[in-house]
A = this chain, B = another copy of it.
Amino acid sequence: MKNQLLPLKLEDIITLWKSTIGIERESIRITHDGSHSMLAHSPEWGDRNHQPYIQTDFGENQLEFITPPSNSTEEIIQWLAATHQIVAQTNEKNEELIWPFSMPALIPENRGEIKVAQLTNVVERQYREYLADYYGKDVQLVSGIHYNFKINPEVIEAYCPADSSLIEYSNDIYSKLARNFMRYRWILTYLLAASPFVDSSYRTNLYGKPHKTTMRSIRQSRYGYQNDASINISYESLEAFVNSLEAAVENKELSVEKELYRDVRFRRSQPVRQLLNKGIDYLELRNFDINPFAPYGITQEDMEFIRLFILTLLYIDDILTDEEIAVGQDFQYKTAEGSPLDPPINITEAEFIFAKMYELAKVLDDYHMVEESMVDIVTKKSRLLKQPELTLSGQLYNIIETPSRFLDFGMQLAKEHQRTYLARPYSLHGFEAFELSTQDVIKEAVRHGIEVTIIDAQENLIRLDYDGHTEYVKNGNMTRQDTLISYFLMENKVATKILLEKAGISVPKGLSFNSIDEGRAYYHQLKMDAFVIKPKNTNYGLGITIFETKPSQDRFDKALEFAFKEDATVLLEAFAKGTELRFYVQNKAVKAVVERQPAQIIGDGRSTISQLIDVVNQDPSRGKKHLAPLTYIEKGEAEMSVLEEVGMTMDSIPEKEEVIYLRKNSNISTGGLSIDRTDEVHESYKKIAEAASQALGANFCGVDIIMEDYTQEAKETNYSVIEANFNPMITLHRYPGVGTQRPVGRWVLEQLYPEVQFNTDGF
C-alpha cells in the first residue's frame, strides 16, 4: 500500500525542512511606454550557452531568472536580488523595465515583431517556432514562477525499507507528492494567484472562446498556457506516467515529451524513461503567478509557506488515483477562473490542510527553523480563507478595478521595482554580507555566467566554475595567480622594505629595533627630523608616534615604549610628506590609481560646516564603515579637534569654494575621499609601482607611493614606496568618490578566465 510509505513523525519536519528549493522567475522586458521591448537579449548578460542565472525563456525579450538550489529561502531571495539588479542596470541604459505581471504587457499588433529567443541551438529555436505556431505567441509570453523542490534525501534514505530499492522508494514518494499537489494546489492558487487582468491586446483561442476580462488567475485558467487537458496522462504511478506520456508523443498529441505543460513536472535529464531507473531528481511546480508587488516576483515568506504546504502533503494520505487528480484539476480551474473575491471552493479541505500545516509550523518554531515565526505565517495565510479581498488577486482586483488600468498599474510597479533594483549600485544586492570587493567579483561572475558557489561567506571565499574551469577567490583577489610566499613578503613590512630596496626602489629610510635599549641608543645617530616610530605589525594605527621635528631623548624613548607595547619589533621610518597615491597593479601592470584625501567639505559661503557635512553624507555612495565605497563623515571629537586647530567649530561658515578638512588621516573608514588619478599620474610612478609588484612577486597588489607631485617625473629622491598590500581594496578604484570608475572585479575575472568574453565595458 502506497499509503504506508513514509510514516513521518512530526519532528521529521526538521530534517525535511532542509529540502532544496530552486526558483525560476520569468519576466518580459518592456519599454517605457509599456510595450514589449524589441531589443535583443543583452550581451552584457553573458553568453546564453553558458549562463546558468540569466536566460531567455520562450521570447527573446522574455527573461528567465534562475537561482541555484538551496535549502535557505534567504539565499534564494539573495540570488534573485542579484540577478534582477544586474539585469536592471543594463535595462536602465537601454531604457527598459521588467514587467511585473505574469500576463503580458502591450503586445504589438504585428505578432511577427515578437522574436522567439535567438538561441544558437537550432533545435531549441525550432521548438520555440513550433510553439509559437501551435499555441500562439501571446500565451507563450505568459510568465510565471517555477518552484523546484527536492526532498531532503536523508529522510527518504532513513525511511526506505531494507528490502526496497532506494530509487523506486524515492520515486514512489515523489509520485505521492505530485498527486497530492495536483489535488490540493487550488489552495495555493486561491491564496497566491495574481493575474486577475490582462491587457486587451492579449489574444488566445486556446479555450475555444474569448476569455473573460477578469478572473482570479487568467494565467492559470484555460486562457493561460495549458496543453489540451484531454491528453490522457496518468499519475497513479511513475511507470503509468512514463507510459502515458510516451504514448501521447507517439500519437502526436505532443511534439516532444517536454511539451507536456502540466503544473507538476518530474525532473531528471530526458527522456522521461530515465526517471524509472535513475529516479526523480526533483519536482518542478509550475503553477505560480508572479507576485507583482514583489520586486523579485515572489516573497521569501511565500516561499516558506509553499515549502511547508508541499511538505504537509507528505504527511497526509496519498490521494492515489487519477480520479482524485481530476477533482483537483477541477478545483484548480474553478479557483483560477472564479472571481478574485470568491470564497475558497472547498473551505473544509483547505482548513484540513491548514490544521496539519499549523502542527508542523509549531515544531519548526520550537527549533527556530525559520527567521520569522512559521506559525505566524500560517496563521496570517489561514485568515485569507475568509478574506478573499486580501488574497493577492483580491487586492489587485480592488486596486486596478478595470482591465484598461492594467497597463498603467503594471508600469507604476515596474518603475518602483526598477528604483529598488538600482539602489546602492556599488553593492551586489543580496550579497551585502560580503566585502564590497567580493561583491564586485561575484556580480561580474554572475553577469557573465560564471557559476558562483559560496564556500565560506564569513571568509569571503568563493568558487567559480565556467565550462569545467574552476577557480577559487578569497577577498576579491586572492587567487592561485599569487604565490604563497608573496603574501608573507607583503604581510611583513620589514621584508617588503628589504625586497623593494634590493630592487632599487626608494622606501622610507629607517631601521628596526628589537629592544627599547637598541632604539634609545640610536637616538645618538638620529639625523632625521620628521619620522615615525611604529610597531612592526600595526593594526588600527596602535602604538604609532609621528614626530615632525626632532624630539628630545625623553619623548623619543616614550614613543619607543609606546610602540614596544604592541610588538617585539619596532620600526623607525622617515616621515615622508607629499601626496599618497594607491596604485592597483595586476599582472605586472598598473590598472588604476587613486588618491585618498582626508574627510572634507567645501564651503558655499552660506552653510555651516555641520550643515555641509550633512549634505556630503547624503551622497548615496556614503554609508556606514565598510558597507559603502565611502564612509559618513562624523562630527566627533577627532573632527572637532581638527577644526579647533584652524580656529573653527562645527558652526563656522566657510567661504565659497573653501576646502575644510575634518581629519588628518585620509582613511576611507573615517570619511576620507577617494579620487581617481589613473589618467593624471605621471607614467614614471606607474613604472615604480609595477617594479614594486614584481620585486614582491605579486600578481594582484596595491602599492602605496608618497610623492611630492604626482604630475612630475619620479626621481631618485622625490618619492617613497610606503607599503604594498596583497589584498588591495578594490572598491577604492571601482567606486571612487570623484573620477572614473574602474572595473576591477571584471579585471580579476578577465585574468582568471581568458576564455570568457567580457561584454561589460559600460560597468
Contact = CB atoms under 8 A, between A and B. Distances in A.
A38 interface: no
A484 interface: yes
A568 to B, nearest CB: 7
A15 interface: yes
Contacts of A472: 485, 488-489, 495
A483 B485 contact: no
Nearest to A453: B498
B486 A521 contact: no
Interface in A472-488: 472-474, 478-488
Contacts of A12: 524-525
B367 A492 contact: no
Nearest to A525: B15
A709 interface: no
Interface stretch (A454-462, A608-616, A737-745): A454-462
A628 to B, nearest CB: 24
B479 A158 contact: no
A726 B522 CA distance: 40
Given A459-B488, A483-B479, A494-B455, A524 B14 contact: yes
A483 B481 CA distance: 7
Nearest to A520: B367
A369 B697 CA distance: 37
A308 to B, nearest CB: 15
A226 interface: no
A715 B158 CA distance: 24
A124 B486 CA distance: 41
A569 interface: yes
A458 B158 contact: no
A517 B367 contact: yes
Contacts of A368: 515, 517
B492 A459 contact: yes
A527 interface: yes
A455 B158 contact: no
Interface in A519-567: 520-522, 524-525, 527
A487 B481 CA distance: 12
A11 interface: yes
A372 interface: no
Nearest to A478: B484
A488 B483 contact: no
Nearest to A470: B502
Given A367-B517, A367-B521, A488-B461, A158 B527 contact: yes
A480 B488 contact: no
Interface string A40-75: 000000000000000000000000000000000000
Contact of A569 (B458, B494, B524): B458
Contacts of A480: 483-486, 697
A453 B524 CA distance: 28
A154 interface: yes
Contacts of A478: 484-485, 488
Interface string A441-465: 0000000000000011011010100
A481 B367 CA distance: 47
Interface-central residue, A368, A463, A484, by most chain B CB under 10 Å:
A484
A120 B158 CA distance: 76
A368 B515 CA distance: 10
Contacts of A569: 458
Interface string A389-403: 000000000000000
A483 B480 CA distance: 5
Nearest to A517: B368
Nearest to A14: B521
Nearest to A369: B521
Interface string A305-323: 0000000000000000000
Interface in A483-512: 483-489, 492, 494-495, 498
A485 B471 CA distance: 9
A342 B367 CA distance: 95
Contacts of A492: 455-456, 459, 461
A753 to B, nearest CB: 15
A169 to B, nearest CB: 17
Given A455-B498, A456-B495, A524 B11 contact: yes
A558 to B, nearest CB: 17
Contact of A154 (B367, B369, B473, B525): B525
Interface string A1-42: 000000000011011000000000000000000000000000
Contact of A15 (B155, B367, B495, B524): B524
Contacts of A485: 472-474, 478-480, 482
A140 B700 CA distance: 57
A134 B456 CA distance: 76
A239 B379 CA distance: 104
A159 to B, nearest CB: 11
Contacts of A726: 484
Contacts of A494: 455-456
B487 A487 contact: yes
A524 B16 CA distance: 11
Interface in A629-654: none
A154 B478 CA distance: 41
Contacts of A525: 12, 14-15, 154-155, 158
Nearest to A471: B485
Nearest to A523: B14
Contact of A487 (B15, B369, B463, B484): B484
A154 B521 CA distance: 14
A485 B521 CA distance: 43
Contacts of A495: 455-456, 459, 461, 472
Listed from nearest, the 9 A-B pairs whose CB atoms lie closest are A480-B483, A15-B525, A482-B484, A367-B521, A368-B517, A14-B521, A472-B485, A474-B488, A480-B485
15 contacts: A12-B525, A14-B521, A367-B521, A369-B517, A455-B498, A456-B494, A459-B492, A461-B489, A472-B489, A478-B485, A479-B483, A479-B484, A480-B484, A482-B484, A482-B485
Given A369-B521, A480-B483, 10 more contacts: A155-B525, A367-B520, A455-B494, A461-B488, A461-B489, A472-B489, A474-B488, A478-B485, A478-B488, A484-B486
